[in-house]
Amino acid sequence: KNEVEQSPQNLTAQEGEFITINCSYSVGISALHWLQQHPGGGIVSLFMLSSGKKKHGRLIATINIQEKHSSLHITASHPRDSAVYICAVRESGGGADGLTFGKGTHLIIQP
């Protein structure tokens, strides 16, 4: 089973700071998801990527397949970015589900 590790587990920053959240995994994957979970449980899919880099607004996700590592960056962070960010991977040739989740990074952006 893939081991998905996220760092940091908790991050508190000031509004405007550049944020980086890291995800590493142990087994080759076909896709990696970055998810955002707000208090109350709702999860929103931010990115799904299998190579390179994707950008959406102030969010940037990168993945390095060789190093089995992905990063999620937030530029010009804002208090509304406060949430838990979860990395999830789908293994190459995985079964019907194949999704393994990290434990999440709890981000707090202070005004």
Partner 1 sequence: GAGVSQSPRYKVAKRGQDVALRCDPISGHVSLFWYQQALGQGPEFLTYFQNEAQLDKSGLPSDRFFAERPEGSVSTLKIQRTQQEDSAVYLCASSLGGPVGNSPLHFGNGTRLTVT
Residue 101 near partner 1 by CB under 8 A: yes
Tokens of 82: 């406060």
What is the DSSP-derived secondary structure letter of residue 26?
A: S
CB atoms within 10 A of CB 2: 19
**Do the Cβ atoms of 71 and 59 come closer than 8 Å?**
no
What is the DSSP-derived secondary structure letter of residue 92?
A: T
Residue 50 near partner 1 by CB under 8 A: yes
Which CB sits closer to partner 1, 17 or 27? 27
Q: Which of 2, 21, 33, 72 binds partner 1 (CB under 8 A)?
A: 33
CA 27 to CA 12: how far, in whole Å?
30
Q: Which of 13, 27, 48, 60 binds partner 1 (CB under 8 A)?
A: 48
Q: Which of 39, 57, 95, 111 binds partner 1 (CB under 8 A)?
A: 95
Which CB sits closer to partner 1, 37 or 71? 37
